[in-house]
């Protein structure tokens, strides 16, 4: 893994204007998010549904226009590019969506789905045919699949087509937006093995967006935990899993099933009370305080900032590290 960042996100903000009870309101979907992804690295961005992680991924590719901030990819600030320059940049930065059924055109065969991005970027016909054959081999599909339509495939096969389409123009990085969450558990494992193999063979960098910490463990080099539009913990994967510092991270890990039924039966589960606050009116201070068992007045008055230790493990909490889970409880 190269120590040079391929992607650097700084103070990313995305706000949506909506109507709430007949009045204009602002949804604070992403609030000052900063992180970097190194060349050849996988950064997992995890959190509950509605925390802003998918919006973050789409802002990076400008599928959703950010409100403010900076997104530097291979040294270029993507937010400063015009439409034409951004389209060229997407040759090196692609996305794989959660639901391949929705992201693949139902009236196009696999051959057309794979040829389309190559044609857009000016490939010659002979080169397109060769590349399509290569892509099928990369994602472990057979030549007879080329003339089938998306509805003729299983969910796992459709996701392989989605991955092949994202790889068509040889990007350096993929944003993987919950790529296995719509699949059966056995198929999830197959797709995860494929993603690991592709990363090693092609030298790819991944931003892997997920709500399930167990899914990303085998793939992630680092993990960033997001809550209500903010990153609350980020660090090397083994540190985040084995020594989570933020109470929200601890709660997420305690919810992951353990294969050993005896350990599962006796483990301590952290049950969060209350509902996820509205991003229209997030709590003052620490946004997690309304569901946190450690919250004190300081958490209401002052917003904690991400503070790093010497090993690059950062946490945004006034009272980090308490209530650690046992080693057995951490095993996911």
Convert the pLDDT of each residue in 103-125 to its tens digit: 899 999 999 999 999 998 889 98
**pTM higher than 0.85 for the full model?**
yes
**pLDDT at site 272:** 84
Burial of 108 (0-12, 13-18, 19+ CB in 10 A): middle
Pairwise CA distance, residues 14 & 27, whole Å = 8
Give residue 326's pLDDT band: very low, low, confident or very high (50, 70, 90): very low
Q: Indicate if the pLDDT at residue 77 is higher than 90.
A: yes
What lies within 8 Å, CB to CB, of 247 at 6+ separation is 270, 288, 292, 293, 294, 317, 322, 323
* pLDDT tens by residue, 6-35: 999 999 999 999 987 788 999 999 999 999
3-class DSSP assignment, residue 20: strand
Q: Which domains does the chain have, with CATH numbers?
A: 5-92+171-244 (3.40.50.300)
**pLDDT at site 109:** 95
Pairwise CA distance, residues 37 & 151, whole Å = 35
**How much of the chain, in percent, has pLDDT values that exceed 70?**
93
Average pLDDT estimate for 171-191: 92
Pairwise CA distance, residues 139 & 157, whole Å = 9
Range from 55-59, 117-121, 300-304 carrying the lowest mean pLDDT: 117-121
Instruction: Check if the beta carbon of residue 280 is closer than 8 Å to that of residue 222.
Output: no
């Amino acid at each position: 893994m190269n120590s040079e960042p391929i992607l650097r996100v700084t103070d990313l903000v995305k706000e949506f204007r909506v109507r709430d009870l007949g009045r204009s309101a602002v949804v604070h979907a992403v609030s000052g998010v900063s992180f970097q992804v190194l060349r050849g690295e996988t950064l997992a961005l995890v959190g509950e549904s509605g925390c802003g992680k998918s919006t973050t991924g789409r802002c990076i590719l400008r599928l959703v226009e950010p409100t403010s901030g900076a997104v530097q990819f291979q040294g270029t600030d993507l937010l400063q590019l015009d439409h034409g320059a951004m389209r060229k940049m997407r040759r090196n930065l692609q996305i794989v969506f959660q639901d391949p059924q929705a992201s693949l055109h139902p009236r196009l065969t696999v051959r057309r789905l794979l040829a389309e991005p190559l044609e857009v970027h000016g490939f010659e016909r002979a080169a397109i045919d060769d590349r399509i054959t290569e892509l099928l081999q990369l994602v472990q599909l057979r030549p007879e699949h080329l003339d089938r339509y998306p509805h003729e495939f299983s969910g796992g096969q459709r996701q392989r087509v989605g991955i092949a389409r994202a790889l068509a123009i040889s990007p350096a990085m993929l944003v993987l937006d919950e790529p296995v969450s719509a699949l059966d558990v056995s198929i999830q494992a197959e797709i995860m093995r494929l993603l690991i193999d592709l990363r090693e063979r092609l030298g790819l960098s991944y931003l892997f967006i997920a709500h399930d910490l167990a899914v990303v463990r085998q793939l992630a080099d680092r993990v960033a935990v997001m809550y209500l539009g903010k990153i609350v913990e980020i660090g090397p994967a083994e540190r985040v899993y084995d020594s989570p510092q933020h109470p929200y991270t601890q709660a997420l890990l305690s919810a992951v099933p353990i294969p050993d039924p005896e350990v599962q039966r006796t483990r301590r589960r952290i049950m969060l009370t209350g509902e996820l606050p509205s991003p229209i009116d997030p709590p003052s201070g620490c946004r997690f305080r309304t569901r946190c068992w450690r919250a004190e007045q300081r958490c209401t008055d002052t917003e904690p900032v991400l503070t790093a230790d010497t090993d690059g493990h950062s946490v945004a909490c006034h009272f980090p590290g308490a209530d650690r889970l046992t080693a057995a409880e951490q095993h996911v």
